[in-house]
Each structure stands twice: as structure tokens, then as C-alpha cells.
Amino acid sequence: MPELSASHRLRIGRYSEQNRIYLLTTNTIGREPVFSDFALGRLVVAQFRAAEHRGCASSLAWVVMPDHFHWLVELQSGSLSELMQRTKSLSTKAVCRYAGREAKLWQKGFHDRALRQEEDLIKLARYVVANPLRARLVDKLGDYPLWDAIWV
């Protein structure tokens, strides 16, 4: 059997189910800390909100770290792949336009985890938004500008 790349292995068994909650994660190419610039991180946040306005997903919690993001969503329509492709594509275009750069922004593929109904969503949301604390980017969560959760 041929060896599959990491991005292809991620897609094996991926299934998108409407009204299911997923934790999605993707990294910048080479883990470049693009979003250390707050203004560039806000462009990614705008795509999270655009996905909600299009009726694709409901954001439950998210954090944009310097070199990746975590997004806890309830999928409303379409597939996870379509949601992530559009989010990554539109955020890349926005960042390139704003920063005057001509480069790819995101690594290929993404990680997803479907949550079981009995999992504690608030606990997972706290884990997501506490990433800046664990990475020692801030001393208090409120000091980090690129996060949100519906429970806060």
C-alpha cells in the first residue's frame, strides 16, 4: 500500500454531520507567527463571523494564536472541508491584501475532532481559549485579544 501524506491521512474517515460540534485546528505554513500582528488575526476572526452569517457554522469558541487557530463550531450546512477551505482561502486573501504579501498562509489540511454529546463543551471551550495562557503569551486571559466563547 502506498504511503499517504499527513494531509491525506487526516482525511481518511472524515465525516461531516450537520448540527454536530467539531473542534477544528489548522496551522500557518512553517508555523510562521503571522498573527502576532493583531490586525492580521482580526482578519481570520472576520472569516469566522462570515461563516456564521452564511449559515455554515455557529462559532462556540475560538482562539487565533500567532501560528494557528482552534475553532469550536457547530456545523450548520456543507462539509467541514468546505468550511475550512473557504475560511482559509478568504483569510489568506484578506491577509495578503492587507499586508501586501503574495504568499500562501496555511498548511494543507486541518485537524478535526467530532465531539460526543456527553462531552463537557464548556470545559473544552475553556481549554480552547486558555491556549494563550498555556503558551505564556499573557498572564491573564483578558489580556489576549484574539479569542471568544459564547459562554463568556
- Distance (Å, rounded) from C-alpha 80 to C-alpha 24? 9
pLDDT of residue 116: 83
For the domain 6-149, what is the CATH code? 3.30.70.1290
- Distance (Å, rounded) from C-alpha 115 to C-alpha 121? 9
pLDDT of residue 14: 62
Side-by-side strand order, sheet with 111-114: 111-114, 21-27, 68-75, 57-64, 147-149
- Distance (Å, rounded) from C-alpha 70 to C-alpha 144? 15
Q: How many CB atoms lie within 10 A of CB 38?
A: 11
Mean pLDDT by 10 residues, the chain (152 residues): 46 72 97 96 98 97 98 96 97 95 92 86 93 96 94 76
pLDDT of residue 20: 93
What stretch of H or E contains 23? strand 21-27
pTM of the entire structure? Answer: 0.88
- Distance (Å, rounded) from C-alpha 131 to C-alpha 93? 26
Per-residue pLDDT reduced to its tens digit, 86-128: 999 999 999 999 998 888 999 999 999 999 877 789 999 999 9
Three-state SS string over 49-107 comes to HHHHHCCCEEEEEEEECCCEEEEEEEECCCCHHHHHHHHHHHHHHHHHHHHCCCCCCEC
- Return the bridge partners of 148, or none: 62
